[in-house]
Structure 1
């Protein structure tokens, strides 16, 4: 009586392709014989055989015998077809040079693709984001990373670093010696972690949308919403808060950017935005504009806020904040001071 195993073996198997047949016969041969045959295949044929070997189904002995018969000049030296991928690699190593094996198995191609794409991908990031990441790294590591970046992108990243660190990093980059493969691998793993952060930042469309909505509101409303959000998720607040920029955040801007922004804003809008603002805020803004424009605005502000619609004040402030965001997006200004160099802080 036929048992279940015998019954299953009697079922017709799916016919093998030519590449699968070649892979099966090569795997059944001894390495010496198979290795000598490899030179008769083109590279394309060998790649097909390698791919087929990795997904080759079990070959029953009688089917293998039929396959071997198709190759009249071949003699089998065993029918072990387990671990096909490792076996085909062993056969390749018997008949080809190490470089040829690497090329066929895609080792070198994969490494070279990784080696080039990692720096190309980094060049697509925001220079300010990469600059903040590099502040956490050793200067020698920063020098190596800068040397590997596309020149135009590396220059932008360098300008994002504190001025107190730029000279040292440029000097290290100029005098950079050959980096050992092990050290390069460690650094590239750090860059890969940076790329993960960049991808995460790009994918945070939700936080960007929420920030855009909040940028249309007034500070008390934004503070209330952030407090409510924080009660649910501090992580969400940490994603949204850096993307929010309000009129009051002018206090956090670098003076150079503040001057560039405010000197392009009309005196009427500035005057309206400053009505009802704290003294410190008013002084910060007035110190960033020309003396002539300052005198004009101070004169207008002396009339107070009587008869002024609060909504007009909110609109003026929002207009200034939106212009700041636009200039920052185009790379012309920074919305906030860069992180200070630890050495400078210690001093």
Structure 2
């Protein structure tokens, strides 16, 4: 503890100290090193007041100084000390403590652990298949870490949604998981936050999914009429539903490679029926995605003059093609729409896409 005799000046011993004098006394008691770090957190006016008070500070006996320090500690604990700015207090602590000690004093670790728990628990609100589909795009080590963090019962279901060829590697990584650095853990947790956001969005879109499923059972003229009616009530609702609707005519927006994969497993008679009465643009999009031999056969059937067009059978065939496209899209095998389509690129041939 330093000697205060030099600050006796002309002050009366034992006279009450002002707030500024108390601040000056505490800073002087801290010593030059610590006090110097604290001074940068005061405003210019506060510094001038404290300096003036220090120059005229009377002698402070040890017992009075102890009382003053105790008063400061009480005010500091209550959040009403010399500096009540939270960021300033945090910076002061970081000057002399380790990050772990600062986290402990500020209660960060407890809050962070509670945050972690809530994030991992929220994953259980989704279907395991949804989580599995998301994780397939992640690195095996990231998947292993996530599986090690979520509840075991749910993690087992998610693991079964992953490709069988990857499960052994992921399980091995999970078994041999070492301590993950805080930085790496934060990166992964940010990805989990994105996933939780997608879960919330998926939950909020259930109504739109149901309406889209209903409309996917209808013909294009009926769908157009319903969407027009819905738009008069809410454009936002239309924007939620429209991207989820896929009709036979939407094959035009599908990437050529996806069209090839889709039509490869559909019987020729269904394709033929679906193309009856279709526009030339649709016919070319479909016929360019099948083998030359099958194309010749379907074109021959379509050109037959004695063919009778049954609207109901045509609608059923087109709906069958659209439903198969939706099924393959949901399993991740094809894309329903080409994100890079410009509308003026010529279609690839089936041979080029294969």
Normalized against structure 1, the TM-score is what? 0.49
TM-score normalised by length of structure 2: 0.48
| Larger Rg belongs to | 2
